Amino acid sequence: MDANNGEKSTVRSVAYSNIALAKYWGKRDSKLNIPAVGSISITLDALETKTSLYFDSNLDCDELKVDGNAASPKKASRVLDLIRDRAGISDFAAVNSRNDFPGGAGLASSASGIAALTVAAAGAAGLELTERELSIIARRGSASAARSIFGGFVELHTGTARDGSDSFAEPLMAASDWPLNVVVAITQLTPKATSSTEGMLATSGSSPFYQTWVENAPSALDEMRSAVLAKDFQKTGELAERSCLAMHSLMLTTNPPLIYWNPATLEVIQLVLRLRNEGVECYFTIDAGPQVKILCESQNASRIALELIEISGVEEARISELGPGAHLVTKP
């Protein structure tokens, strides 16, 4: 913490994006932002958000800047309201957030952004919260953000409590226990047309397969948890692809359809299948956007990245290791 903003104490934090191996899509409670199904993710150290924040009695509302531009503080204010309530303060906050990757484009900038914000706001408010409490607060801003509170392999529970008190994330396995790599194929630099929140609402209201997805989720999650804990790469990868394709099937059967992919997305999927045939074990997964994340072991990451950048439409191939959880930092 340092006091470099007049009288105001600026707190800085960093958090990393995550990618779900077992996806969630849909809400059990929209108002409390409780996911309809549990999920399992890995935190990625190559997709980072740095945030600085101070509370200021002179502000009339929360102010958010993302990558230098003024942005809607709607999600951030949901988190800040909870922090203010807990701390018994009423000041609004000025938040400055910087991503080292394209925001709003399906690379989970809301996960890293809201996780970084939650940790910084709790620090600035002088709250000492457990990581579980931080994850519950972060979840209110963006459910995937609950997972970015932690590093490595993480599980987010849907829970059953009406108030969402048992819908929290927790670590499943440390990154060092199974140091997988992810090669991120960035196929679009601009924000997506339909946000995850809007998309999920549309799906639950119109896809004929939504109920089946919710019913199947606990067993899919159990299978994924077992595969991860057994460090069974083939099983983990196959289940991740299945979860991804099941989620995109829901999106495609939403009315009107949600088609997040572009031609390069499909080319990258074909590449993954070809590489597997050639003996390079790797698996794809895709969130609500056209970007593809390829799960692999470290010895294959460079080869995969080199093949990716040959595909026209792949703007960048970024190799990521598994990252740490959100934390406070002292330097910008």
- Residue numbers at the binding site for ligand PMV (CB under 6 A): 20, 23-25, 39, 108, 110-111, 142-144, 196-197, 287-288
CA distance 140 to 138: 5
Closest approach, Cβ 34 to ligand PMV, in A, equals: 11
Nearer to ligand PMV, 22 or 124 (CB): 22
Nearer to ligand PMV, 97 or 142 (CB): 142
Closest approach, Cβ 21 to ligand PMV, in A, equals: 9
Nearer to ligand PMV, 25 or 178 (CB): 25
Nearer to ligand PMV, 41 or 96 (CB): 41
Closest approach, Cβ 166 to ligand PMV, in A, equals: 18
Closest approach, Cβ 195 to ligand PMV, in A, equals: 7
Closest approach, Cβ 18 to ligand PMV, in A, equals: 7
* 204: CB partners within 8 A, 6+ apart: 26, 27, 36, 210
Q: Cβ-closest residue to ligand PMV? A: 20
Q: Locate 226 and state its tokens.
A: 């077992």
Closest approach, Cβ 11 to ligand PMV, in A, equals: 23
Nearer to ligand PMV, 25 or 55 (CB): 25
Nearer to ligand PMV, 197 or 302 (CB): 197
Nearer to ligand PMV, 23 or 50 (CB): 23
Closest approach, Cβ 287 to ligand PMV, in A, equals: 4
Closest approach, Cβ 72 to ligand PMV, in A, equals: 14
CA distance 40 to 24: 9
Nearer to ligand PMV, 66 or 288 (CB): 288
- DSSP-based three-state secondary structure for 132: helix
Nearer to ligand PMV, 19 or 94 (CB): 19
**HEC per residue, the chain:** CEEEECCEEEEEEEEEEEEEEECCCCEEECCCCEECCCEEEEEEEEEEEEEEEEEECCCCCCEEEECCEEECCHHHHHHHHHHHHHHCCCCEEEEEEEECCCCCCCCCHHHHHHHHHHHHHHHHCCCCCCHHHHHHHHHHHCHHHHHHCCCCEEEECCCCCCCCCCCCEEEEECHHHCCCEEEEEECCCCCCCCCHHHHHHHHHHHCCCHHHHHHHHHHHHHHHHHHHHCCCHHHHHHHHHHHHHHHHHHHHCCCCCCCCCCHHHHHHHHHHHHHHHCCCCEEEECCCCCCEEEEECHHHHHHHHHHHCCCCCCCEEEEEEECCCCEEECCC
Closest approach, Cβ 288 to ligand PMV, in A, equals: 4
Asked whether the beta carbons of 105 and 190 are under 8 A apart, the reply is yes
CA distance 184 to 264: 13
